Amino acid sequence: MNFRRTGAAAAVLCLAARLAGHMVSISTGDLRVEGTRARYELSVPAYEAEHLKRPEIELLENIRFLAGGLDGRRLEGQCRPDPSSESLKCEALYEFAREVETVEVVCNFHKVLVQNHAHILRAASPEGADRAVLDYTFPRTTLRFRPPGPGEVAIQGILAGMRRAFGGAAQLLFLLAMALAARGRREFLALAAAFLAGQAATCLLAPRLNWQPAPNFVEAAAALTIAYLAVEILLFPTAGYRALVVAGLGLFHGLYFASFVAVSEVPQAWFLLGASLAEFLALVALYAAGRRLGPPAARLHPQRSLAGLLLAIGMGWFLYRIR
């Protein structure tokens, strides 16, 4: 794939920089509603909250619970480190103007943690339970305390997968590297299929192996895949079996999805369908943009320049995460 201009690729790099942060950035919350009151418990990995000076203010002021269009009044709120789980625990008590039937939630944790942060919220009341995933793409939702129907489960899972497909810099940069690595339409389709298959295999097998890798390992592995594919482009431009290489690299990217599914309890099959669809469409867009722009001026070598940039980013990111 060749670019005469690197506008599309530059846009991906800018978006990746905007989303830079921990690749695996997830917090969990439990909301228990009874009558006009609700108790909220929040758990944030300690490494995510190291920079917060007053977490009881910076975190609890960035999540709101509304009933009947009115904010719940926070009666108390506190945060404390929990060394046993290597996390920061927060608790808050809310009171509403009337008995709660549904709760609207507005969560902006991505503004005080990292841009690609996802908050997994579980809620329960005497009438039932509900669950939601909130992030920068979907910061507001309504909890209705009733079991979702099969259609709702499918839609929620697919949307969660699509949002997580673009949830971090590693995913975006690797998709760009794959688009650069494809040397023709047939190879592009082979690379896309191999990557999605490898990614899905890890996501499906990791829970059965009862393996939950450390977030830093997942992020370092993803960074190394970007660097490795960039080396393929730069040093082995005519190498064969590239689809097998990409399938192996996809195994590492599946670790992130496996971690997210394990914590969020989103239906695995629907989640993978949404993530795979979003990634494939992004790859098609990148590849098609390059094909339409035609061959570049020979002296510019944009493909090699971008590959070199990806190599530098991937290796720098890898070394930063393993230090």
Which pLDDT belongs to residue 299?
Answer: 45
User: Taking 60 as the threshold, does the pLDDT of residue 295 lie above it?
Assistant: no
pLDDT tens readout for residues 94-139: 999 989 989 999 999 999 998 888 999 999 998 889 999 999 888 9
Which pLDDT belongs to residue 77?
Answer: 94
Q: Which helix (H) or strand (E) holds 53?
A: none
Is residue 304 very low, low, confident or very high in pLDDT (cuts 50, 70, 90)? confident
DSSP per residue, 190-219: HHHHHHHHHHHHHHHHHHHHT----HHHHH
Q: Which helix (H) or strand (E) holds 59?
A: none
Is residue 307 very low, low, confident or very high in pLDDT (cuts 50, 70, 90)? confident
pLDDT tens readout for residues 268-292: 999 999 999 999 999 999 888 766 6
Q: Which of 313, 315, 224, 220 is nearest to 22 (CA)?
A: 220
User: Taking 70 as the threshold, does the pLDDT of residue 314 lie above it?
Assistant: yes
User: Taking 50 as the threshold, does the pLDDT of residue 22 lie above it?
Assistant: yes
Angle in degrees, 0-180, between the axes of helices 169-181 and 215-235, rounded to the nearest 10: 20
Tell me the two tokens of residue 285.
């867009």
Cα angle 142, 32, 24; round to 5: 70
Which pLDDT belongs to residue 137?
Answer: 86
C-alpha distances (whole Å) from 178 to each of 60, 194, 268 are 40, 11, 25
pLDDT tens readout for residues 195-254: 999 999 999 998 888 777 777 788 888 889 999 999 998 988 888 889 999 999 999 999
Return left, alpha or beta for 240; rule: phi > 0 is left, psi -120 to 50 is alpha, else beta: beta
Which pLDDT belongs to residue 111?
Answer: 92
Tell me the two tokens of residue 94.
């809310």
Whether the CB-CB separation of 70 and 94 falls below 8 Å is answered with no
Which pLDDT belongs to residue 61?
Answer: 94
User: Taking 50 as the threshold, does the pLDDT of residue 323 lie above it?
Assistant: yes
User: Taking 60 as the threshold, does the pLDDT of residue 42 lie above it?
Assistant: yes
36-55 average pLDDT score: 92
Q: In angstroms, rounded to a whole number, what is the distance separating the alpha carbons of residues 214 and 206?
A: 13
Which pLDDT belongs to residue 264?
Answer: 84
**β-sheet with 73-82: strand ranges across:** 73-82, 87-95, 37-45, 26-34, 118-125, 128-134
Which pLDDT belongs to residue 5?
Answer: 41
- The whole-chain average pLDDT of the chain stands at 85
**Domain residues of the chain, as ranges?**
7-22+168-322, 26-148
Which pLDDT belongs to residue 7?
Answer: 47
Most confident of the ranges 17-26, 58-67, 233-242: 58-67
Please classify residue 139 by burial: count the beta carbons closer than 10 Å to its beta carbon, then call 0-12 exposed, 13-18 middle and 19+ buried.
Answer: middle
| 26-148 has CATH 3.40.50 classification | no
pLDDT tens readout for residues 143-185: 988 877 889 889 989 998 998 887 777 888 899 999 888 888 9
Pairing relation of β-strands 63-67 and 70-71? antiparallel
| CB-based contacts of 166, cutoff 8 Å, min separation 6 | 19, 172, 278, 282
User: Taking 70 as the threshold, does the pLDDT of residue 38 lie above it?
Assistant: yes
